[in-house]
Amino acid sequence: MTIHIGAKPGEIAETVLMPGDPYRAKWAAETFLKDAVLINEVRGMLGFTGTWNGHRVSIQGSGMGMPSLSIYANELIKDYDAQTLIRIGSCGGMQDKVSIRDVILAATSSTLSTPSIGIFKELNYAPCADWGLLHAAFHAAEARGVTTHVGGIYSADVFYDERPDLNEQMTRHGILAVEMEAAELYNLAARHGRRALAVLTVSDHLITGEALPAEDREKSFGDMVEIALEAAFA
On whether the CB atoms of residues 58 and 168 are closer than 8 A, the answer is no
Q: What confidence score (pLDDT) does residue 32 get?
A: 98
Known active-site residue 204: yes
Known binding-site residues for phosphate equal 20, 24, 43, 87-90
Q: Decide: helix, strand or coil at residue 189.
A: helix
pLDDT at 219: 66
As a whole number of angstroms, the distance between CA 98 and CA 170 comes to 14
Cα 152 to its chain centre, rounded Å, is: 14
Bridge partners of residue 199, in order along the sequence: 88, 105
Instruction: Please enumerate, by residue number, every residue annotated as part of a binding site for a purine D-ribonucleoside.
Output: 4, 179-181, 203-204
Task: Residue 82: name the closest of 222, 234, 232 by CA.
Answer: 232
Please identify which of the residues 79, 81, 161, 204 carries the catalytic annotation.
204
Q: Indicate the domain borders of the chain.
A: 15-232
DSSP 6-45: -PPTT-S-SEEEE-SSHHHHHHHHHHH-EEEEEEE-GGG-
Q: Which residues contact 175 (CB under 8 A, 6 or more apart)?
A: 94, 95, 110, 151, 152, 153, 154
Give the CATH class of 15-232: alpha beta
Look up the pTM and report it. 0.96
Contacts of 139 (CB under 8 A, 6+ apart): 234
Looking only at the bridges linking them, the beta strands covering 148-155 and 55-60 are unpaired
Per-residue pLDDT of the chain (234 residues; tens, 9 = 90+): 899 999 999 999 999 999 999 999 999 999 999 999 999 999 999 999 999 999 999 999 999 999 999 999 999 999 999 999 999 999 999 999 999 999 999 999 999 999 999 999 899 899 999 999 999 999 999 999 999 999 999 999 999 988 899 999 999 999 999 999 999 999 999 999 999 999 999 999 999 999 988 777 766 799 999 999 999 999
